[in-house]
Amino acid sequence: MSGEDTSGRSGDEPEIIESAGADEAARGELARVYAALLARAGETQVELRLDATRRACELLGDIHTAAPVITVTGTNGKTSTARMIDSIVTAHDLRVGRFTSPHLHSVTERISVDGAPVAIETFVRIFDEISAYLEIVDAELAAEGRAPLTYFEALTVLAFAVFADAPVDVVVTEVGMGGQWDSTNVADAEVCVFTRIGLDHQQFLGDTLAEIAGTKAGILDRNVDPSPAPSPVAVIAEQAEEAQTVLDAEVERRGVSALTEERNFRLLDRQRAVDGQLVTVQGLRDVYTDVFVPLHGIHQAHNAAVAIIAAEAFLGDEGKPLDLETLAEGLSRTTSPGRAELVRTGPSVVVDGAHNPDAAHVLADTLAEAFDFDYTVMVLAMLEDKDIHGVLEELHRSADAFVISETMSPRALSAETLAEAAREWVDEDSVILAADLNAALMKAIDLANAAEANSPGIVVTGSLYTVAEARLLLGRGESE
């Protein structure tokens, strides 16, 4: 999660509720539940604790231990990696519950069963069933002079309750922020996955990669007694040296088995393919050759390698490799909306939720590799608490023109401020202001169509708020 405002919404989470096909009554019930969740404190009022979430889970019958867990932390790539793990494990005939954040269009996207957002009716029913227990915990906290359950804590409890009700065979959770005190850490994961760690949320996690890595290593803690997974396996993506040094020390301190990219597994090869890429991965027990990944960019190839190893660590039995055909079938079904996603052609429009410098760097590389635009209009709208110049430093090399606008978030950065920053990186004539995102898209389409280019493209980025609004405006208001 990218940080939440005091209403409960995350900093990169749209406030739109859109559920295609749901009838008016169901949408009304979902709106009621969502409003109740949003009434709780958001992630800008961080509670450094696990006991409140644990207490609610225990009152509900230890729902956080109802199924084995795979937890994914990191800075960028968490959601895509979690979705790939889900797809691989599902293909091996296990029922998977997945909890990720933020969402694009409907809060139900955060809680997935069988690869799809949980039904509105189930979301509402389970929330109503657990509400009294949430109120008990709130009252106990109040008696101790402590804050009630936050939005994300309550949503975590709801997710575990949905998974216990289903029931599922395995839970894949994406850490909201950090790891050590993130509410998802109430569960003791059998496999603890670390995607690449970068600088983000410094106000909560620390100003250095070392500090951030130390907090994220908290997913290795055992918080259930007796633990359902006393000996976890850490699967660690390739890291900057500063972060890797900390993770190595934390793994050793806990006596945890670690599988680290380049030491224990690696991406051997990848080739561009229509609508994705073919990857070859040296796994723990076999080489998995020419596996199709329907996502773009070298970062997604590395995410796929990490997901394959996580699945191997979870599913492996006495040294038996994963079945290549089953693995390929699972990965081929992976989607990751809002991540280098092509949502329109003629001209091409790509949306990507890059909101920090690392993610912007990856986006720039992916555009150069996968889309071959010879004229690029960058539609940019960001939140006020992000590293604006860090993002612009990465994106300006890919842009022939910037169309600057604002998101609908209460924490939106003003278009004037963002445009002023953009002019420090490109010619003033290349920066155009638009009153809202709809106007920005229309202007970008005009620029792309007027360009003397064989392959013009539009890239909408800066925040998942921006992506969500653009997807709706372009008729893609449903997220898998």
The predicted structure's pLDDT at residue 477: 72
Specify if 10 maps to a domain: no
Q: By the 8 A CB rule, do 330 and 294 touch?
A: no
Stretch (H or E) spanning 423: none
User: What CA–CA distance (Å, rounded) separates 322 from 308?
Assistant: 9
User: What CA–CA distance (Å, rounded) separates 211 from 216?
Assistant: 9
- 380/424 same-domain check: yes
Last residue of a domain, one of 314, 332, 350: 332
- 300/175 same-domain check: yes
Last residue of a domain, one of 289, 309, 332: 332
- 319/231 same-domain check: yes
Specify if 5 maps to a domain: no
The predicted structure's pLDDT at residue 206: 76
Residue type, 170: V
Specify if 6 maps to a domain: no
The predicted structure's pLDDT at residue 450: 95
Provide the 3-class DSSP secondary structure of residue 288: strand
Report the CATH number at residue 354. Answer: 3.90.190.20
Report the CATH number at residue 218. Answer: 3.40.1190.10
- 315/369 same-domain check: no
Q: By the 8 A CB rule, do 351 and 338 touch?
A: yes
- 271/367 same-domain check: no
- 265/293 same-domain check: yes
Count the domains in the chain.
2
- 325/462 same-domain check: no
Q: Read off the DSSP letter of residue 317.
A: B
| Cα-only R_g, the chain | 22
β-pairing verdict for 287-293 and 456-461: unpaired
β-pairing verdict for 116-117 and 69-73: unpaired
Q: By the 8 A CB rule, do 186 and 171 touch?
A: no
Instruction: Provide the terminal-to-terminal Cα distance of the chain, rounded to the nearest Å.
Output: 18
Last residue of a domain, one of 269, 304, 332: 332
DSSP 357-405: HHHHHHHHHHHHHHT--SEEEEEE--BTTS-HHHHHHHHGGG-SEEEE-
The predicted structure's pLDDT at residue 479: 61
- 96/206 same-domain check: yes
- 322/346 same-domain check: no
For every one of its 480 residues, what pLDDT tens digit does the chain have, with 9 covering 90 and above? 333 332 334 444 444 444 445 588 888 999 999 999 999 987 567 789 999 999 999 999 999 999 999 999 998 899 999 999 999 999 999 999 999 988 889 999 999 999 999 999 999 999 999 999 999 999 999 999 999 999 999 999 999 999 999 999 999 999 998 889 999 999 999 999 999 998 777 667 778 999 999 999 999 999 999 999 999 999 999 999 999 999 999 999 999 999 999 999 999 999 999 899 999 999 999 999 999 999 999 999 999 999 999 999 999 865 678 999 999 999 999 999 999 999 999 999 999 999 999 899 999 999 999 998 999 999 999 999 889 999 999 999 999 999 999 998 888 999 999 999 999 999 999 999 999 999 999 999 999 999 989 999 999 999 999 999 999 999 887 665
- 235/106 same-domain check: yes
The boundaries of the domain holding residue 426 are 341-473
- 116/154 same-domain check: yes
